Amino acid sequence: MTSRNQQLFELSQQYIPGGVNSPVRAFKSVGGTPIFFRRGKGPYVWDADDKTYIDYVGSWGPLILGHAHPDVIKAVQAAAQNGLTFGAPTEAELEIAELLCRLVPSIEQVRLVSSGTEATMSAIRLARGYTGRNRIIKFEGCYHGHDDALLVKAGSGALTFGHPSSAGVPEGTTASTVVLDYNDLSGVKQAFGQFGEEIAAVIVEPVAGNMNLVTPQTGFLPALRELCTQYGSVLIFDEVMTGFRVGQGCAQGLYGIKPDLTTLGKVIGGGMPMAAFGGRRDIMQCLAPLGPVYQAGTLSGNPVAVAAGLATLRLVQMPGFYEKLAATTGQLTEGLTLAAKKHGVIFCAQAVGGMFGLYFRENLPASYTEVMSCDKEAFNRFFHAMLEEGVYFAPSAFEAGFVSAAHGDAEISKTLAAAEKVFDTWK
């Protein structure tokens, strides 16, 4: 019998390219029919066939409180009653700007936008406008949204300029983008040695979460900080995913590095379309209407989205919030590792705050190349077997997973019991 998910997917492909509004949702990497969600509550989601899942995607990171947290819903409803948008300053935007500047010391001024892509695109333009330089450095496997200049794959040699990783991006747009290997200290030093004075910015995910999860090796982030300072380049921490996910001070607080600009998204919008970029006042002052770098947005600072973000940021500041989140996430990764080991399955996992990585390989990957050596087929088998058991992980071997404050012992136990069952019959 055709499931409702299948019926909906069939139909949606007639009206929406690939049947989805964002490619990763189409299950192309794992195969099978994507799930159409109907409802979410806490750590659970229900699909169009009314099947229940424990959700470890959380809309790719925003839902750190879980689905439909009552405080967030109430705040959104209250804000909506007063109007959905004004296209003019509101007090709530000032409140969240002050809060972000207080919670993230490197942010002296901040501008709100509607998506992570807008935040990184604007930060790159701002860094170029501030320095008067064009070249930027990014790292293979890091994703910063779909801005043309950042849709780049590594050039043939380590230091050749990037080539577009998407159709429709003119060669010229990526010609100034150098793509290096994440955690490759010598590569970074070589690039600065060759182009240092021409580099406008380095943009990096301080904990990479878009090639599965890869943590920065000791010395990597400090080296980026030192080299950017030495050559007058702007260090941009793309914390759209790690911001308020890995700790209250974000990844920059965890690793003790002060970037020049930070991009934020996901958690700060609490599930509504909101992101931000901010940092050193002297750089931010280059933005219109003060300075020559143009950036704008009809719904930037949208009051309903800000209300969801404020409600979320208030709750993540509660004492012990991140300790509990990290403990739950660690319970999950340690439990999965033990279950796999017990059944002789080659598998490892790690957690950083409320995000985690699962890998079908012997040891934790430290680079894009090592992530690519994971057994993708094994992951896909695991993904579907767990889905069958009512556990929803990210539908790609190359994505990080997320735990919310709503996940408790019951959900972790259910997940580990399901994994035990799956690994027990692992061929």
In the complex with ligand KE4, which residue's Cβ is closer, 24 or 103?
24
- Residue 277 as a binder of ligand KE4 (CB under 6 A): the answer is no
> Which 59-98 residues touch ligand KE4, going by CB under 6 A?
60
| Site of tokens 């439909």 | 68
C-alpha to C-alpha distance for 182 and 223, rounded to whole angstroms: 12
Q: Which is nearer to ligand KE4, 72 or 150 (CB)?
A: 150
What is the CB neighbour count within 10 angstroms for residue 360?
20
265 is a site residue for ligand KE4 (CB under 6 A): yes
238 is catalytic: yes
Closest CA to 221 of 179, 183, 278, 169: 183
Q: Give, in degrees to the nearest 5, the angle at Cα 77 between 75 and 82.
A: 100
Residue matched to tokens 């300029």: 161
> What gap in Å lies between CA 374 and CA 116, rounded to an integer?
28
Extract the tokens encoding 122. 């604007």
Which member of 2, 14, 22, 156 binds ligand KE4 (CB under 6 A)? 22
Annotated catalytic, 181? no
Collapse the DSSP code of 355 into the 3-class scheme (helix H, G, I; strand E, B; otherwise coil) and give the result. Answer: strand
Would you count residue 144 as binding ligand KE4 (CB under 6 A)? Answer: yes
Torsion angles phi and psi, residue 79, rounded to 5: -65, -45
From 5, 106, 115, 183, residue interacting with ligand KE4 (rule: CB under 6 A)? 115
Round to whole Å and give the CA distance between 241 and 238: 8
Query: Does 399 interact with ligand KE4 (rule: CB under 6 A)?
Result: yes
| Position 238 contacts ligand KE4 (CB under 6 A) | yes
> Which of 36, 143, 322, 356 lies at the binding interface for ligand KE4 (CB under 6 A)?
143
Active site residue 260: no
Q: Pick from 210, 262, 295, 329: which binds ligand KE4 (CB under 6 A)? A: 210
Written as one string, the DSSP assignment of 43-104 is TEEEETT--EEEESSGGGTT-TT-BT-HHHHHHHHHHHHT-S--SS--HHHHHHHHHHHHHS
If one asks whether residue 240 binds ligand KE4 (CB under 6 A), the answer comes out as: yes
Q: Which is nearer to ligand KE4, 30 or 416 (CB)?
A: 30
If one asks whether residue 117 binds ligand KE4 (CB under 6 A), the answer comes out as yes
Which residue is catalytic, options 44, 56, 143, 392?
A: 143
Q: Does 244 bind ligand KE4 (CB under 6 A)?
A: no
Active-site residue identified among 56, 238, 255, 359:
238
User: How many residues bind to ligand KE4 according to rule CB under 6 A?
Assistant: 19
Q: Are 88 and 425 in contact (CB under 8 A)?
A: no
Of 266, 322, 368, 392, the catalytic one is 266
Edge-to-edge strands, sheet with 348-352: 348-352, 355-359, 401-402
Place of tokens 């919030």: 321
Per CB under 6 A, 276 contacts ligand KE4? no
Single residue of 106, 120, 331, 415 touching ligand KE4 by CB under 6 A: 120
Is 365 a residue that touches ligand KE4 (CB under 6 A)? Answer: no
As measured in angstroms, the least distance from the Cβ of 61 to ligand KE4 is 7
Residues that bind ligand KE4 (CB under 6 A): 22, 24, 60, 115-117, 120, 143-145, 205, 209-210, 238, 240-241, 265, 275, 399
Residues acting as catalytic residues: 143, 238, 266
